[in-house]
């Protein structure tokens, strides 16, 4: 998506809109001794060489940007990829570290392009940019920055049009519940799951493990069947024995594949890993239904796509390894392969301030679940 700063004053001469990437998500720095996790909400100049060291601070969190490009002025479009922008932000975060972490992961990022206004004008010794928003990065243009800016201004006009997708169940015509940043939807009438694929909604394969009674809310999880060189992931029994040596798994676990469960919703970075660890170790019943129970079922939207779940595998496996140095080192160097992926809805019941999984007792704080919807 593209948004622009709400410029209230009349357009000044030399109005130029500079793009910035904004991305939010769970950022992990995984080392041999510990895992650090923070909620990352960062901005990076999306134009190479133009205000390259600047950022927008907390402005995107407090200023109501408007959707779409502005009507007046010249717009520069990004030539820095989102991946490169994330790398710049990670370098900033690790600026005070002795050395970069072996594994860095940004999980569940939500990205947008923010266009902010500058005035291109004459200064004492040439041309410069004056920000048209409070405490922006003013200053003269160096030779390299001037060339990069000129290149952007010489680019052909680009038309930007958003595409919209009607949230209506393709099977029964019922309205699907809208949720910010959702990647999966469930119909409250027919119980089918859907996810956006190109210009249309396509069937979302999933399994629901139903629970009887009221006050049940289903939370989505990705089940990833994983193999790796250097890690004992041949079976569920091997995975559990590696993570918790004193646990005795049932004999049947030796014939079950090793599955890592990743929350398909967002939460605080530490809580996200803890939930993944606890649900991976939990001995959940197999089987389930391919559609939701009758109308009235509460379902938490899936906000973490499959690719992002795969990105979080090493942080979750490092959480399973705990503080054991050799095991964490093996996780850092392992080459993981996802053999199979499935989305499963697990039933949780409200107990005081927590949602508790019906079969295992794994708890998710209700307040943390609410806060995670805004990440």
Segment 295-319, tens digit of pLDDT = 667 888 899 988 899 999 999 999 9
Report strand pairing: 74-75 vs 15-30.
parallel
Q: CA-CA distance, 119 to 107, in Å (whole number)?
A: 36
Q: What is the pLDDT of residue 100?
A: 61
- Does the predicted TM-score (pTM) go above 0.85? yes
Segment 2-34, tens digit of pLDDT = 999 998 777 788 899 999 999 988 989 888 888
Q: Is the pLDDT of residue 65 over 90?
A: yes
149 to 17, 30, 48, 78, 145: CA distances (angstroms): 11, 38, 9, 12, 6
**What does pLDDT average to over the chain?**
87
Q: CA-CA distance, 84 to 44, in Å (whole number)?
A: 10
Q: CA-CA distance, 5 to 78, in Å (whole number)?
A: 16
Q: Is the pLDDT of residue 98 over 70?
A: no
Residue ranges covered by each domain of the chain? 2-153, 185-372
Q: Which burial class, exposed, middle or buried, applies to 181 when counting CB atoms under 10 A from its CB (0-12, 13-18, 19+)?
A: middle
Segment 333-353, tens digit of pLDDT = 888 889 999 999 999 988 889
Structure tokens at 125: 């010794």
pLDDT > 70: percent of the chain: 98
Across residues 62-89, what is the average pLDDT? 90
Burial 231-267 (b: 16+ CB within 10 A, else e): bebebbbbbbbbbeeeeebeeebeebbbbbbbbbbbb
């Amino acid at each position: 998506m593209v948004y622009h700063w709400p410029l209230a004053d009349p357009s000044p001469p030399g109005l130029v809109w500079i793009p910035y990437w904004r991305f939010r998500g769970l950022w992990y720095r995984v080392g041999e001794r510990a895992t650090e996790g923070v909620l990352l909400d960062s901005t990076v100049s999306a134009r190479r060489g133009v205000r390259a060291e600047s950022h927008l601070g907390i402005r995107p969190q407090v200023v109501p940007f408007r959707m779409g490009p502005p009507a007046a002025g010249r717009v520069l479009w990004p030539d820095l990829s989102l991946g490169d922008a994330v790398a710049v932000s990670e370098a900033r975060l690790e600026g005070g570290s002795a050395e970069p972490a072996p594994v860095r992961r940004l999980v569940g990022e939500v990205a947008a392009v923010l266009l902010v206004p500058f005035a291109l004008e004459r200064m004492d010794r040439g041309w410069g940019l004056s920000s048209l928003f409070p405490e922006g990065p003013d200053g003269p243009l160096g030779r390299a920055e001037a060339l990069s800016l000129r290149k952007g201004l010489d680019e052909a006009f680009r038309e930007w049009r958003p595409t919209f997708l009607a949230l209506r169940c393709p099977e029964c015509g019922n309205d699907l519940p809208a949720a910010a940043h959702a990647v999966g939807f469930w119909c409250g009438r027919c119980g089918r799951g859907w996810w956006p694929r190109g210009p249309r909604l396509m069937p979302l394969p999933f399994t629901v493990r139903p629970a009887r009674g009221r006050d049940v809310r289903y939370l989505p999880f990705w089940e990833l069947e994983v193999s790796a060189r250097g890690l004992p992931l041949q079976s569920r029994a091997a995975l559990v024995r590696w993570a918790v040596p004193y646990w005795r798994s049932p004999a049947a676990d030796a014939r079950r594949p090793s599955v890592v469960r990743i929350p398909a919703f967002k939460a605080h970075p530490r809580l996200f890993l803890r939930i993944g660890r606890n649900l991976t170790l939990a001995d959940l019943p197999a089987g389930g239904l391919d559609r939701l129970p009758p109308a009235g079922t509460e379902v938490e939207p899936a906000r973490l796509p499959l690719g992002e779940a795969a990105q979080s595998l090493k942080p979750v496996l490092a959480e399973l390894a705990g503080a054991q140095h050799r095991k964490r080192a093996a996780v850092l160097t392992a080459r993981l392969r996802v053999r199979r992926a499935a989305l499963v809805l697990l039933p949780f019941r409200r107990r005081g301030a927590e949602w508790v999984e019906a079969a295992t007792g794994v708890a998710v704080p209700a307040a943390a679940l609410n806060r995670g919807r805004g990440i």
